Amino acid sequence: MIRYAKSVLVVLLGGALLGAPGFVHAMTAHEILEEIAKRNLADSFRVFLRITTLKGKKTISKHRIWLMGKKMNGEGAFFLDFEAPEESKGLRILFRVAKDKRPAAYMFLPATGRTLPLAADNESANIGETGLTMTDFLTFMPQAGESQTIAREEMNDGKDCYVIKITPPGDKGHRLVWVTKNDFLILKSQTIDAKGKVQRTFRVVEFFRNEKGREFPREEEIVIVDKKTRIRLRQENALFGIEISDEILDPKTFGKYKWRL
């Protein structure tokens, strides 16, 4: 089935409110995050992404990346294959994410033909010089040791939202996530340090409606405050419910497997 997806970052997200007809129980923040992840891990997918990184008004990089994902025995696996620019072509990254476990990440370097492990919880790791970090891809997946609470409810971009506060272990600040009440879309998130300063903001800047009238994000923006940098992510050519070879999502084979003819 061909359709545009949720979003590059929200491709791991989305969600559905569970409950009997005529009655919905009050969900906790943890249940909301689990339902968001559950819905988007239900289908395998392949999305083509255009990523533009800007400093001020100057474009400092443009990347084209294939992103694929699949649920495997209760574990989510996500694969990135860089197509452009030329110096990044062939770079591949693999994430493996399981509930209540630390995520695992691997990077294949085409110049050496080697696969290296990555620190998936390293928030400063720059993925392929795009400005994106591991946290940008995995931030909404419930992680071991985190606490989640509903901080408040408020309107955002004309939509009624839950604002969920996610606090990691230790005094490392927290994240705020704005989730729509009616269809559980992620509209916005902020990373806030221990001193209360916003370090990073993610927001949806463009939506589209599918044939059934439902809204989905098409383009997102990440603002990195200290670096005065913006990252624009636009998705194209999204396919859902497709077959994805296990070799693409296996740390031993993902680097050299030829998934395109």
3-state SS assignment for residue 231: strand
Residue 187: how many other CB atoms lie within 10 Å: 20
In a domain, 242, yes or no: yes
Residue 147 has which token pair? 């606490």
CA distance 98 to 15: 18
| pLDDT at 176 (0 to 100) | 94
Please give the model's pTM, rounded to 2 decimal places.
0.80
Residue 219 and residue 204 in contact, taking contact as beta carbons nearer than 8 Å: yes
Q: Name the more confident of 204 and 122.
A: 204
In a domain, 163, yes or no: yes
Is residue 210, in this structure, part of any structural domain at all?
Answer: yes
Inside any domain, residue 2? no
Residue 258 lies in a domain: no
CA distance 88 to 86: 5
pLDDT beyond 50 at 9: no
Is the pLDDT score of 19 beyond 70? no
Q: Is pLDDT of 11 > 60?
A: no
pLDDT value of position 27:
87
Rounded average pLDDT over 221-237: 91
CATH (domain of 65): 2.50.20.10
Residue 259 belongs to some domain of the structure: no
Percent of the chain with pLDDT over 90: 45
Q: Which domain holds residue 241?
A: 10-249
Q: What is the mean pLDDT of the chain?
A: 81
In a domain, 84, yes or no: yes
Kindly state the DSSP code that residue 14 receives in the 8-state scheme: -
Does a structural domain hold residue 260?
Answer: no
pLDDT band at 211 (very low <50, low <70, confident <90, very high): low
pLDDT at 194 over 60: yes
DSSP 46-92: EEEEEEEEEETTEEEEEEEEEEEEEEETTEEEEEEEEEESGGGTT-E
Total number of domains constituting the chain: 1
Question: Residues 102-160: pLDDT tens digits?
Answer: 778 999 999 999 999 987 666 667 788 888 887 776 655 556 677 899 999 999 989 99
